[in-house]
Chains A and B, each alone.
Chain A
Amino acid sequence: MDTLIGIINYVVFFAITAGTYGILALGLNIQWGYTGLFNIGIAGFYALGAYAAALVSGPPPSAWDGRIFGGFELPFLAGLLAAAVVCGIVAFLIGIPTLRLRSDYLAIATIGIAETIRLVLKNESWLTNGVWGLQQIPSPFYDPIHGGVKAFLGNHPDLQGWIHGLFSKAYNWFYLFLVLAILFVLYLIVERLVHSPWGRVLKAIREDEDAVAMSGKNTFSFKLQALVLGAMIMGIGGGVYAYYARFISPASFKPLYGTFLVWVMLILGGSGNNRGAILGSFVVWGIWAGTDFLTEYFPFSATQAASLRIIIIGVLLEVILLWRPQGLLQRERKPSKTP
């Protein structure tokens, strides 16, 4: 029974993380899957969103903190909004000099902005508390739910042990519901957008930008909009992570791994297909978590096991690119509905 409860709790935790990655993959799908924009700075937007949300919702600086700013204790949705807005602004600033050029420039610029964001988070202690990170980010409704369940279980010590085991993590169930709800809402919004005339232009740009430009569309503006919108969704993903983790530091956002995993998720799931993006994030997160169990059976050190897992994901990416570039779910072939 205890193992079963352990598994249930693990699955809930697993799904929260996979759902958060699903949000990032949806954001990337707008940029890459529908518009063909090559953003490899996802980890930067993810971190930026998390920090924006944490600074908006977290407590003011304590006596031990190095920072002197932030901590407005605003509600959850305000934090997510701030995360989206900040990421949108940064994407806008990056898009302006690069989106008129070959895709290589956007790639290099996004990797550069991700690195710059990482350096700022690490060095600007007055804002980010440096390597110590931001603590006590309030999870939404944590006190009523967690406190309520805890008080209930405390008042009923006669209940069986497994009930206690199962319900002590009840907050995670709520958060899973919240993550999936946000993911679903974003999915509906993105689906709606990509099937609109606006989305048709994006897909046309992906296929042949020059032809779209010749038919009188301002492709630069459309690309900029797609980049900003995708980055805003990634920022929301960062916020969702911050409220769950309750503690974030520069070490939480490994520069390339975050970016890389999201890319593999989208490519494996099927870029240009929103359901594929979400499916891919669950499958790849499953593989990633699975390799964690797998490496325990081999006599590797912790760093060796970590390296091996990344090598496996790297090989997986190359295998998909070589033999199934369209991913698990292909692009939707159906034409978008005309109003």
Chain B
Amino acid sequence: MDILSRIPQLLVYGVISGSILSLGGIGVSLIYSIIGFSNFAYGDMMALGAYIALGLFSLFVSWSIPNTPLGPLSFGFGFILAAIFAIGLTAVAVVLIDRILFNRLRNHSSVILMMSSIGVALALRNILQFFWGPQPHYYIERIQIASVIPGLGIRIKPDQVFIILVTIVLVVLVHAFLKYTKMGKAMRATADNNALARVTGINTNRVIVWTWVIGGALAATAGILAGIENKFITPELGWQMLLSIFAAVVLGGIGNPYGAIVGGMVIGITEEVSTAFIPTGYKPAVAFIIMILMLIVKPTGLLGKRR
């Protein structure tokens, strides 16, 4: 009974972490379907965004840009400004990495790109560790009191509501971009059939740059939101979530951004609910086992149509 009474609360936590996994999953999925490889540096791109935001935020604090908390949130204008700049800078950094490295390896097999992304992953993580050290850094050292939703007895913090809202807004924006803009359509066409897209006159090079911009921006957002949720960031932040993100992507159908949202939510909720039954340390293993089960039952994923 005690375990069951905890489940509604864990469901809410699952939606929060599922939101962050979904954002990461959309990025991984877009890169997979358009550029054609599993980007193992994605987690570390998330951490990069979180650290750029940290650096800018402390800079803004020293410039005395105001950061009085907005309403019930634990942060204010200064932090949001830092986050927006960090998202942009991460997108630029990710495009640079593509130009220096991935773009030159594009005519090799996708496995070579995967391998080089592992090199990028370790290099990025250790660059962060070199400058900031392995210890946790705090965005804002202030404890926020959770509000109780009356009737349900579920506790949720205003920051967590913010995370869910940001995710919803971004998902809608990405959807609108893919569905209605010319570039979005070009991206979907390239994902569907690269050669055909090129024949019809789509500039696939521009498509690739845009994919990295969106992927990088989503990575930074996910990293910053994870920092808000955890209250601290470490260089390992993204790497620790990478397996869950990949599990979400595979579960939803690899290469399908909408599947990544479904997968992210399922993985996030299952991971949190599993803590009622098994030790918290096994969270990544839970994601992994769901992924393996999915591969056995239906390798194309929940929303996937073909291999």
Which chain B residue has the least Cβ–Cβ distance from A304? B130
Which chain A residue has the least Cβ–Cβ distance from B300? A101
In angstroms, Cα B115 to Cα A321, docked, is 9
Most buried by B among A104, A107, A308, A315: A104
Which chain A residue has the least Cβ–Cβ distance from B113? A321
Given A303-B134, A315-B123, A317-B115: A116 and B299 within 8 A (CB)? no
In angstroms, Cα B127 to Cα A314, docked, is 11
Q: Does B9 have its Cβ within 8 Å of any Cβ on chain A?
A: no
Q: Which of B38, B126, B292 contacts A104 (CB 8 A)?
A: B38
Segment at the interface with A among B212-220, B224-232, B278-286 = B278-286
Contacts of B134 in A (CB 8 A): 303
CB distance from A204 to the nearest CB of B (A): 16
Contacts of B121 in A (CB 8 A): 256
Contacts of B285 in A (CB 8 A): 115-116, 119-120
CB distance from A308 to the nearest CB of B (A): 6
Q: CB distance A314 to B120 under 8 Å?
A: yes
In angstroms, Cα B287 to Cα A113, docked, is 11
Q: Could you tell me which residues of chain B, from 106 to 161, have a CB within 8 Å of some CB in chain A?
A: 108, 110-112, 114-116, 118-123, 126-127, 129-130, 133-134
Q: CB distance B299 to A101 under 8 Å?
A: yes
Q: Does B291 have its Cβ within 8 Å of any Cβ on chain A?
A: yes
Q: Does B199 have its Cβ within 8 Å of any Cβ on chain A?
A: no
Q: Could you tell me which residues of chain A, from 206 to 258, have a CB within 8 Å of some CB in chain B?
A: 256-257
Q: CB distance B115 to A267 under 8 Å?
A: yes
Given A104-B32, A105-B250, A119-B285: A321 and B292 within 8 A (CB)? no
Q: CB distance B288 to A256 under 8 Å?
A: no
Q: Which of A100, A308, A317 contacts B116 (CB 8 A)?
A: A317
Which chain A residue has the least Cβ–Cβ distance from B130? A307
Q: CB distance B295 to A111 under 8 Å?
A: no
Given A97-B296, A260-B118, A308-B126: A36 and B291 within 8 A (CB)? no
Q: Does A263 have its Cβ within 8 Å of any Cβ on chain B?
A: yes
Contacts of A267 in B (CB 8 A): 115
In angstroms, Cα B114 to Cα A119, docked, is 24
CB distance from A309 to the nearest CB of B (A): 8
In angstroms, Cα B104 to Cα A126, docked, is 50
Q: Does A318 have its Cβ within 8 Å of any Cβ on chain B?
A: yes
Q: CB distance B114 to A325 under 8 Å?
A: no
Q: Could you tell me which residues of chain A, from 91 to 129, have a CB within 8 Å of some CB in chain B?
A: 96-98, 100-105, 107-109, 111-113, 115-116, 119-120, 122-123
Q: CB distance B295 to A115 under 8 Å?
A: no
In angstroms, Cα B116 to Cα A314, docked, is 9
Q: CB distance A112 to B122 under 8 Å?
A: no
In angstroms, Cα B134 to Cα A307, docked, is 10
Q: CB distance B105 to A310 under 8 Å?
A: no
Q: Does A311 have its Cβ within 8 Å of any Cβ on chain B?
A: yes
Which chain A residue has the least Cβ–Cβ distance from B37? A104
In angstroms, Cα B299 to Cα A107, docked, is 15
Q: CB distance B126 to A311 under 8 Å?
A: yes
Q: Does A322 have its Cβ within 8 Å of any Cβ on chain B?
A: yes
Q: CB distance B292 to A97 under 8 Å?
A: yes
Q: Could you tell me which residues of chain B, from 1 to 45, have a CB within 8 Å of some CB in chain A?
A: 32, 37-38, 40
Q: CB distance A103 to B111 under 8 Å?
A: yes
In angstroms, Cα B117 to Cα A317, docked, is 10
Q: CB distance A108 to B250 under 8 Å?
A: yes
Q: Does B195 have its Cβ within 8 Å of any Cβ on chain A?
A: no
In angstroms, Cα B113 to Cα A103, docked, is 12
CB distance from B40 to the nearest CB of A (A): 8
Q: Could you tell me which residues of chain A, from 291 to 338, have a CB within 8 Å of some CB in chain B?
A: 301, 303-304, 306-308, 310-311, 313-315, 317-318, 321-322, 325
The 3 residue pairs across chains A and B that have the minimum distance between CB atoms: A314-B123, A112-B288, A307-B126
Query: Measuring CB to CB, which residues of chain A are less than 8 angstroms from any residue of chain B?
Result: 36, 38, 40, 96-98, 100-105, 107-109, 111-113, 115-116, 119-120, 122-123, 256-257, 260, 263, 267, 301, 303-304, 306-308, 310-311, 313-315, 317-318, 321-322, 325
Task: List 17 A-B pairs, Cβ < 8 Å.
Answer: A38-B111, A38-B114, A102-B307, A104-B38, A105-B295, A105-B299, A108-B247, A112-B292, A113-B288, A115-B243, A122-B281, A260-B119, A304-B129, A304-B130, A315-B119, A317-B116, A322-B105
